[in-house]
Amino acid sequence: MLGLMQDRPLALPHIFHRAEQLFGHKTVVTAEVNGETTTTIAELCTRVRRLATALDDLGISADGRVATFCWNTARHLELYLAAPCTGRVLHTLNIRLFPEQLVYIVGHAEDEVIFVDRSLLPLLWPLADKMPTVRAFVVIDDGADTAIPDDPRVRDYEELLAAAEPFSGDFVIEDENTAAAMCYTSGTTGNPKGVVYSHRSTVLHSVATLFADGPALSERDVLMPVVPMFHANAWGLPYGGLLAGSTLVMPGPNMAPQAIVSMLERHEVTITAGVPTIWMGVQPLLGDHDLTHLRAILCGGSAVPKALSEAYREAIGIPLLHAWGMTETSPIASVSSMRSHHEGLTEEERADARARQGYPLPLVELRIADPETGEPQPWDDEATGEVQAAGPWIAKDYYRGEGGGSQFTEDGWLRTGDVATVDRYGSFRLVDRTKDLVKSGGEWISSVELENEIMAHPKVAEAAVIGVPHEKWVERPLACVVVKPGETLTAEEVIEFLRPRVAKWWLPDAVEFIDEIPKTSVGKFSKKTLREKFGGYELPAAAER
């Protein structure tokens, strides 16, 4: 017997029409190169309708890839809606990729047009001739005084919109499984791989951002996604915010901590999101700003140090809300929300609970499995295994079938490459990425745990741990430490600080002080770059501790 409920597609036109109908009076603020602009959702929706026609005028194919090379702005949001609502596929390009990677990705996705913020033209235009699939580069003027090339491929966004009649009527996507957007993962080995989001996966993930045990977006929120709109769709928050009817604040090109904290204060932001490095930068400024409106700071992308989260709790009363995911998981898969069984715990124990990667969201299934045998591991918070994920917003393959078999299990689960334990309530705690674990004499040392302990030192700004070759133990940990400005610290002090906190055989064999931990294109610690930097590193002889 079949159910008798309507089979309406879960597709982005719903989010657009709902925003247009219910939330026209709400606003989107965007920081630009010289000041801020404010637009209403009603104005934004009219511009989306014009943009829909403009994409036809540009001759973009029915399911053509529409690439963006933009900051977080209202204009970018227009593209987030117009491309998928007209059946095209939004392709957000990471502005921090190396030129060769960009050229590769644009060619691989066969992007037909790239919308580019004027301030970012100098990064993109020199590559234009290596991008034969791109027939138009549409420049969005963000107030930068960058010269605009005199070339027939270059078009002006505002002129294009002004010349286009607004599309009237309803946008329709009949098959909810058609592609809505794509995003390439940076990929530490081989070429970047394309993750392709469907309308269905995007709508369901947007709904999940409204869950009470997740970001819990609501109409009363003022949402500021600091995480870039090219990093897994800013964790799905712009779509979630539109679905909920939240006011949006877009930080634009100025990612400096002072600019971020000022916007949070000025616009009375209630919820924001970004990777730990962003919040590390903002933390010293907290005392100078009134952030009493903030109710949540979503943080993920790499492990959130407990000390950082606690510094926020102490300064402004709210710890960081820790979430875990990947580009392949849309990206939010688990959130470390507080649960009833945490009541009555000490503040320290609650902080430990928050530092975990947390509970799978409804509709997401996570398990840990022995990476070699695939054997499921018990949820006793002792056994470790590779995290595997399944659910309606988890990838089942990469673009053009480039999963290569090894990224997915035989029963169709995504192999994340992360290693974790799980407690009996289902809270995951990531131990490391498979490739970052330090293998010492046949036993694993968690680089993430060591880093978090080192970053709890009051004089440490940042720390990353990598494995370096060792004659006897195969690999031993090397700690790379950045000291806070104006402070001094010795290797012995770091080791003495760690001694009561970790097992003796985990203590790093050496500590190197560096100016900055190299970051990836999405602002995470780049262990790959560190490993290159310290390739051939000679550990001190007396390494036994």
Residues forming the site for ligand ADP (CB under 6 A): 185-186, 300-303, 322-327, 357, 416-418, 430, 433, 522, 524
How far is it, in rounded angstroms, from Cα 521 to Cα 100? 14
Which of 86/334 has CB closer to ligand ADP? Answer: 334
Within its chain, how far is the Cα of 407 from the centroid?
20
- Name the catalytic one among 176, 328, 462, 475: 328
CA distances from 325 to 180, 185, 207, 232 (A): 20, 12, 16, 10
Residues with Cβ within 8 Å of residue 110, at least 6 apart in sequence = 65, 133
- What is the closest distance, in whole angstroms, from the C-beta atom of residue 193 to ligand ADP in the complex? 10
Q: How far is the CB of 93 from ligand ADP (least distance, A)?
A: 14
Which C-beta is closer to ligand ADP: that of 40 or that of 409? Answer: 409
Q: Which is nearer to ligand ADP, 105 or 510 (CB)?
A: 105
Do residues 244 and 219 lie in contact, with contact meaning Cβ atoms separated by under 8 Å?
A: yes
Tokens of 73: 């702005």
Least separation, in Å, of the C-beta of 275 and ligand ADP?
A: 8
Please state, in angstroms and rounded to a whole number, the distance separating the CA atoms of residues 468 and 478.
7
Residue 507 CB, shortest distance to ligand ADP, in Å, is 22
CA distance linking residue 468 with residue 476, whole number of Å? 6
324 part of the active site = no
Enter the tokens of residue 62. Answer: 């029915």
Max Cα-Cα span within the chain? 75
Give CA separation, 158 vs 53, 72, 80, 102, 169, in Å.
Answer: 13, 18, 17, 25, 22
- Give yes or no: 185 in active site: yes
3-state secondary structure of 469: strand
Identity of the residue, 206 or 416, whose beta carbon is nearer to ligand ADP in the bound complex? 416
Of 454, 538, 532, which is closest to residue 498 (Cα–Cα)?
Answer: 454
Closer CB to ligand ADP, residue 15 or residue 90? 90
CB of 355 to ligand ADP, least distance (A): 9
Q: How far is the CB of 76 from ligand ADP (least distance, A)?
A: 19
Q: How far is the CB of 533 from ligand ADP (least distance, A)?
A: 19
Helix (H) or strand (E) holding 99: helix 99-109
Element (H, E) at 113: strand 111-117
Give least dist CB 522 to ligand ADP, A.
6
Kindly tell me which of 215 and 325 has the beta carbon lying closer to ligand ADP: 325
Locate 477 and state its tokens.
Answer: 């940990």
Rounded CA separation 95/112 (Å): 18
| Dihedral (Cα; 163, 165, 167, 168), 10-degree rounding | 170
Residue 333 beta carbon to ligand ADP: minimum distance, rounded to whole angstroms:
9
**Where do the H-state alpha helices sit in 321-471?**
347-355, 447-454
Please say which residue, 72 or 186, places its beta carbon nearer to ligand ADP.
186
Q: How far is the CB of 328 from ligand ADP (least distance, A)?
A: 6
Which residue, 395, 404, 370, 374, is CA-closest to 385? 370
Catalytic residue among 40, 146, 178, 185: 185
Q: Is residue 359 within 8 Å of residue 423, measured between CB atoms? A: no
State the sign of the Cα–Cα–Cα–Cα dihedral 19, 24, 26, 29: positive
Rg of the chain over all Cα atoms, to the nearest angstrom: 24
Q: What is the 3-state secondary structure (H, E, C) of 358-426?
A: EEECCCCEEEEECCCCCCECCCCCCCCEEEEEECCCCCCCCHHHCCCCCCECCCCCEEEEEEEEECCCC
Give the CA count within 13 Å in the CB-facing half-sphere of 231: 23
The smaller minimum CB distance to ligand ADP, of residues 206 and 327, is found at 327
Torsion from C-alpha of 235, 31, 268, 225, nearest 10 degrees? 0
Cβ-based nearer residue to ligand ADP, 68 or 327: 327
Rounded to the nearest angstrom, the gap between the alpha carbon of residue 325 and the centroid of all alpha carbons in its chain is 8
SS (H, E, C) 45-71: HHHHHHHHHHHHHCCCCCCCEEEEECC
Q: Which is nearer to ligand ADP, 53 or 302 (CB)?
A: 302
Q: Phi then psi for 444, rounded to 5 degrees?
A: -95, 140
Active site residue 444: yes
> Which residue in the list 37, 268, 439, 505 is annotated as catalytic?
439
User: What is d(CA 248, CA 45) in angstroms, rounded to the nearest whole number?
Assistant: 14
Residue numbers annotated as active site: 185, 328, 439, 444
